[in-house]
Amino acid sequence: MLGTNFVAMRVRLSCLLPCPVRRLASELARPALLDYLSSPMLVFKPVEPAEPVERWSIGEYRFRLLIADRLPIGEHVINVQRTVADPDEVATSSVVWHDAGYSGLIRVWDHQIVLEDFLAMTRYTDHVEIRAGLLTVPAWLFALAFYLHRQQRLNRLVAAGFAY
């Protein structure tokens, strides 16, 4: 069947940020960062749990997704496999975030964030694998635009000293 074993597509984007790895790892543990970086392109409305959490922990979080806070595109599960509990434990190069996400339309939205120390700055890399049957190519194009948007917002946030 073509739809069941459709090819995965991947996005890999990096940027260099003028902040220490530990500081960025600490911020990545906060769902508020997801909201800030995704907005206004994509808005995550919590479904389960119904109220936003202060810090990510291992487990599933269900969200309604809205493009530009207007166009609903269904529910998405962020399935946290790894998050930083203690930023002091972050190595000089490590995966600090792993979301094995999925939705009704996208069977696999696997997102990992790697932070690497680079001359007292941080190289931030998004690794994303997408499998969505016949929707894989459009989902990949959206992911490319979305992660470029996120990294631009992250650059501005870091430059502003993480003043949300």
**Does 4 have pLDDT greater than 60?**
no
The pLDDT tens digits for 27-79 are: 999 999 999 999 999 999 999 999 999 999 999 999 999 999 999 999 999 99
Higher-pLDDT residue of 96, 12? 12
Mean per-residue pLDDT over the chain, rounded: 92
Instruction: Print burial letters for 120-142: b (CB count within 10 Å at least 16), e (below 16).
Output: ebbbbbbbbbbbbeebbeebbeb
Place 1 in a pLDDT band, splitting at 50, 70 and 90. Answer: very low
Q: Report pTM.
A: 0.91
**Does 92 have pLDDT greater than 70?**
no
pLDDT at residue 3, rounded to an integer: 47
Task: Count CA atoms closer than 13 A to 128's CA, side-chain side.
Answer: 23
pLDDT at residue 2, rounded to an integer: 45
Mean per-residue pLDDT, 127-142: 97
Place 90 in a pLDDT band, splitting at 50, 70 and 90. Answer: confident
Q: Pairing state of beta strands 121-131 and 108-118?
A: antiparallel
**Does 86 have pLDDT greater than 80?**
no
pLDDT at residue 94, rounded to an integer: 82
Contact between residue 66 and residue 41 where contact means Cβ atoms under 8 Å apart: no
